[in-house]
Amino acid sequence: MDLNTISTIGIVVSLAFIVILALRGWHIIVIAPLAAVIAALFSNLNVLETLTGPYMKGFTNYAGKFYLIFLLGTIFGKFMEDSGAARSIAQSIIKLIGGSGNPMRVLVSFSVVCMVLTYGGVSLFVVIFTVLPIARSLWKEANIPWHLFMLSFVFGAATITMTMLPGSPSIQNIMPTKYMHTTAMAAPLLGLLAAVVVAILNLLYMKYCLNKVKEKGEVYVPPSGVGIIAESTEVEDMPNVWLSLLPMAVVLVFLNVPVIKLDIIYSLAAGALACAILFWSRYSNIVDTLTKGAINMAIPIINTCADVGYGMAVAATAGFKVVSTWLLTLPFNPIISLAVATNLMAAITGSASGGMGIVLETLVPKYLALGISPELAHRIVAMSSGCFDAMPHNGVIITILAVAGLTHVNAYKHVFWGHIVATLIALIICIPLGILIY
C-alpha cells in the first residue's frame, strides 16, 4: 500500500481510538495527543515534531481566538448564578407558564427556562447546576418519571439556542464569525426555521413519552447516588425577575443591535458588569465569584483546544489531503459535504465546539474559496456541529447524567431522539432552502 492509503487508515484508527477510549472514561485532554501520535506514526511523520508543531499550533490558535470569550462567558454565568438572578428567572418562568402539577406544562416550562438562560449568555454548566434542584421539585410534584428530565433539559439548553437562534452568544454561534467575518445574526431565516422544526419535533416527542410512561405506570422515583444534586427548597430572598433579566438583555443588545454591535468579549463583559452593579449587595465575596467564574473556564477551553490540536495534527498527514479532496469533489453542492464533514468531526470528538473548530481551521477556507456564501456556511456549520455532537461519549452528556443521577441506559434515548434526530431533520430541511436563498 502507498503512503496515502496507509495514512488514511491511520486517521480512521486514530478516530476509533478517540471514540473507544472516551466511552471507557478517558479524558479528551489525554486522548487527543495520543490520537495525534497514532496519526503521525501511520503517516511516517516525526511524532515529537507533530506534537510540538501542528498539534500545538491548533491548540494555541484556538486558545488565542477564544480564550477571552470562554473567560468572560463563565464569569458572566457565575455572576448570574451567585446573585440568584438565574434562579429568579427560572422560577418566574415556571410560575408564568403554570408548569406545576401538569406533566406536559412542566416539561415545556422547564425547557423554556433553559432556553432563556442559555440564549441570554449563561453557560450550560451554570444552567444545569442552577435549574436541576428546581427540576427535582417540579418532577416530584407532577409525578413525572425522572428520566424525562434529560429530554426537557437537552431540548432547552443544547439545541435551539446553541446553534440555531440568530443572535445567540453561544460559542458555537460565535466561532464561525472569527473565520467567516459574519455576525451572530447570520442566516436568520434558516436559523428560525430550524428552531421551529426542532421545537415541534420535541413537543411531539414529549407528548409521546408522557403517554408511554402513563401506559407503563411509571412514576417519579428520586435519583440516588454520590454527587446527586439535592431537591430544591423554597428560596424567599431572590432578586426581582425584571432586574435579573437586565444583564442578559445587555449582552444581547450590545452583541446584536446595529447601532451598537460590539464584539462578544465586550458584550459579555458589559453583562457581567451590569450584573455586579445591580446585585452588588448579594455577593458575599465578589472576588470569590470572579475567581470561581474564571476557573470554570479552564476545563471547557482546554478540552476544545485538545480537540482542535488533534484536528490540525491530522490535517498535516497525507491521508487528510485524500479525505479533504474527496469531500470537496463529492457530486453535489459543497454545502452538503461541509455539513457532512462537520457532523463527522463533532461525532468523533464528542464536542460541537471541538468538531467545529477542526472544520473551521482545516476545511472552511477551501469551501469559501469555492464561492459558498459565508452567511450560509456559518449557519450550516453551526447547526451541523450540534447534531451528532451528543454521542454517548460527549463530556457534557456524561456530566449531566452523573449530576442528575441518570444513566445512558435509562435516559440517553431522549438525547438521541430529542437532540440528534430532531436537529438532523431540521438540518436536512434547511440545507436545500439555504442553497436556493443564498
Q: Render pLDDT for 88-128 as a digit per residue (tens, 0 to 9).
A: 888 888 888 765 678 999 999 999 999 999 999 888 877 88
Write down the pLDDT at residue 78. 87
Q: Render pLDDT for 201-220 as a digit per residue (tens, 0 to 9).
A: 999 999 999 999 999 999 98
Rounded Cα distance between 156 and 169, Å, is 15
Average the pLDDT over 15-33 and give the result: 82
Average the pLDDT over 281-293 and give the result: 89
Q: What is the pTM of this model?
A: 0.83
For the cut 90, the answer to whether the pLDDT of residue 198 exceeds it is: yes
Cell of 129: 447546576
Q: Render pLDDT for 137-182 as a digit per residue (tens, 0 to 9).
A: 888 888 999 999 999 999 999 899 999 999 999 989 999 998 999 9
